């Protein structure tokens, strides 16, 4: 699910941190490498993408790329963090709560239809991360944990569920995340056949009605999530 609802794992110092270029030209070169790597990982996955190809597209040697990022694994995590920064800027300074957060998920699905490269990167790397020793495995595990918590909290807040129904909300959150991730794969394969925002809205609305029929069921007056108008 390409969405900055869950924070990325914290970065540490040393070999797991990219170098900090001093000159504007070097900083721009580092950004260029990141965007080239993002396109390459999205197209080929981490295991099949080579530093040689990324370096060639950036007009550098492999040693030149490693000067900025130290390792291919660090380049990958830096790409994922760049992707997250894009979503943080879209989300704004304050994370919405309850029903507003669920509306944000529908809006995210609508916005993802306009950024194929980021959606492909997430779909490819999240699937690939389940393999042994994949460098993005911890990133995606932490991301799903955080996202599951945020979505379940939003469902409980929107539906007014008591604490003893926390597991029910968590199960519903897993369903929302699974639907959004699955829709992304379907959309990448057949974009004209899949409306990610409308399908997400339908699933979230149905879950709200199931969890709180008095608030969101037939005859209820509380508005359920709906995608914003295009444009």
Domain boundaries of the chain, sorted by first residue:
21-72, 95-216
- Domain 21-72 adopts which CATH fold? Arc Repressor Mutant, subunit A (1.10.10)
| Residue 61 φ/ψ, nearest 5 degrees | -85, 165
* pLDDT on residue 134: 93
* pLDDT on residue 158: 96
Least confident of 22-31, 161-170, 204-213: 22-31
pLDDT at 224 over 80: no
* pLDDT on residue 156: 96
pLDDT at 223 over 90: no
Query: Mean pLDDT over residues 17-25, rounded?
Result: 81
* pLDDT on residue 218: 79
* pLDDT on residue 8: 40
Nearest-CA neighbor of 33 among 54, 19, 18, 17?
Answer: 54
pLDDT at 7 over 50: no
Higher pLDDT, 200 or 223: 200
Higher pLDDT, 157 or 222: 157
pLDDT at 179 over 50: yes
């Amino acid at each position: 699910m390409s969405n900055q609802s869950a924070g990325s794992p914290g970065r540490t110092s040393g070999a797991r941190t990219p170098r900090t270029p001093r000159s504007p030209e070097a900083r721009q070169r580092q950004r260029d490498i990141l965007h080239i790597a993002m396109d390459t990982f999205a197209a080929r996955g981490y295991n099949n993408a080579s530093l040689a190809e990324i370096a060639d597209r950036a007009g550098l040697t492999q040693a030149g790329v490693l000067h900025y990022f130290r390792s291919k694994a660090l380049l990958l995590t830096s790409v994922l963090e760049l992707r997250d920064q894009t979503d943080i800027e879209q989300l704004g300074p304050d994370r919405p709560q309850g029903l507003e957060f669920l509306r944000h998920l529908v809006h995210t699905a609508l916005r993802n239809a306009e950024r194929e490269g980021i959606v492909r990167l997430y779909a490819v790397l999240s699937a690939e991360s389940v393999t042994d020793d994949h460098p993005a495995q911890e990133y995606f595990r932490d991301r799903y944990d955080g996202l599951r918590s945020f979505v379940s909290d939003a469902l409980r807040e929107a539906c007014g569920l008591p604490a003893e129904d926390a597991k029910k909300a968590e199960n519903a959150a897993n369903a929302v995340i699974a639907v959004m991730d699955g829709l992304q794969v379907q959309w990448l394969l057949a974009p004209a056949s899949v409306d990610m925002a409308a399908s997400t809205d339908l699933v979230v609305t149905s879950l709200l009605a199931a969890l709180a029929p008095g608030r969101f069921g037939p005859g209820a007056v509380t508005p359920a999530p709906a995608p914003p108008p295009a444009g």
